[in-house]
Amino acid sequence: MDDAGEIVDSIEARRAAEALIVDVDGFEGPLDLLLSLSRTQKVDLRKISVLQLAEQYLGFVERAKALRIELAADYLVMAAWLAFLKSRLLLPPDPEDEGPTGEDLAAHLAFQLERLQAMRDVAARLMGRDRLGRDVFARGTPTDVTRIRRVTYTATLLDLMQAYARIRTRDDFRPYVMDRDSIYTMEEALDRMRGLIGYAGEWMTLSNWLPEGWETDPARRRSATAANFAASLELVKQGAAEIRQSATFAPIEIRKVAR
């Protein structure tokens, strides 16, 4: 019974078996090979004899070895597993053993084969559908939607008057006063953080430290974040705070040094 080689007796079957060996590279893995072998049983995959299939597979592997055909590792792993399955199916169940029964394992293998076959069948049906560019066609001359981007510039009367006033009284204006609106200095951040760090017993992300009114506007947030980060480093250097970041680009967290 375990001498699977003897089963192959007719010339036709032998030829088929040789074709299998020659085509070993053409198989897409052990499941594919098992599926091909199962076809010789010519039965519904649900009624397949897994024991017989296991013997066919092991016989195939034996012959491949005899012909010195290099089998990929996963074919050998499958062979070992099927040998195990075969022993499970043939030996009476061990009441001590809590693992799955041979029948469970066989049923799962049958399920896997049936599922793979089903996927192949639907893949063929899918490929046989009316396909775009082969059977069905899209518009040959699509009209592009032209995107008209219109930029409107606005200025208010106030802008205008302030601009004029600015020119006429230029010397009175400090040149950078407007721009510094969105600059939060490290000194400011340090002053503020020194007062607050005492309350930060838990880790708090840097973004929670931004002063009110500096969280939303991107330019102000950037400036305040940079200032707070620099101030945090200063506090760490002074031994007043701890700082951490769990990964690159992860939030930076700060807390006071526990005393």
Partner 1 sequence: MSEDDDAPTESSLFEAPPLSEQERMVEAVLFASAEPVGVADLNARLPHGCDAARALEMLRRRYEGRGVRVVRVGEAWAIRTAPDLGFLMQRETVEMRKLSRAAVETLAIIAYHQPVTRAEIEEIRGVSVSRGTIDQLLELEWIRFGRRRMTPGRPVTYVVTQGFLDHFGLESARDLPGLKELRAAGLLDSRPPPGVSEDGEEAEDEGQSDMFEDES
**Which residues, 6 or more positions from 138, have their beta carbon under 8 angstroms from its beta carbon?**
132
Q: Is 219 in the site for partner 1 (CB under 8 A)?
A: no
Binding track over 3-32 against partner 1, x by CB under 8 A: -------------------------xxxxx
CB of 114 to partner 1, least distance (A): 6
Which residue is listed with tokens 């897409």? 28
Radius of gyration (Cα) for the chain, nearest Å? 38
CB of 107 to partner 1, least distance (A): 8
Among residues 108, 107, 104, which one has the least CA distance to residue 93? 104
Interface residue with partner 1 among 159, 187, 191, 215 (CB under 8 A) is 159
| Smaller CB separation from partner 1, 195 or 218 | 218
What CA–CA distance (Å, rounded) separates 238 from 222? Answer: 24
CB of 158 to partner 1, least distance (A): 8
What CA–CA distance (Å, rounded) separates 252 from 204? Answer: 8
Strand arrangement of the beta sheet that strand 241-245 belongs to: 204-205, 252-256, 241-245
| Smaller CB separation from partner 1, 18 or 74 | 74
Q: Is 151 in the site for partner 1 (CB under 8 A)?
A: yes
CB of 208 to partner 1, least distance (A): 27
What CA–CA distance (Å, rounded) separates 191 from 199? Answer: 15
| Smaller CB separation from partner 1, 175 or 239 | 175
Site for partner 1, residues 170 to 189, rule: CB under 8 A: 170-173
Q: Is 166 in the site for partner 1 (CB under 8 A)?
A: yes
What CA–CA distance (Å, rounded) separates 29 from 8? Answer: 23
CB of 146 to partner 1, least distance (A): 5
Task: Say if CB 71 and CB 21 are below 8 A apart.
Answer: no
Q: Is 42 in the site for partner 1 (CB under 8 A)?
A: no
Site for partner 1, residues 109 to 148, rule: CB under 8 A: 111-112, 114-116, 118-123, 125-127, 129-148
CB of 42 to partner 1, least distance (A): 20
Q: How many CA atoms, within 13 angstroms, populate the side-chain half-sphere of residue 242?
A: 12
Site for partner 1, residues 65 to 104, rule: CB under 8 A: 74, 99-101, 104
Task: Say if CB 186 and CB 202 are below 8 A apart.
Answer: no
| Smaller CB separation from partner 1, 68 or 125 | 125
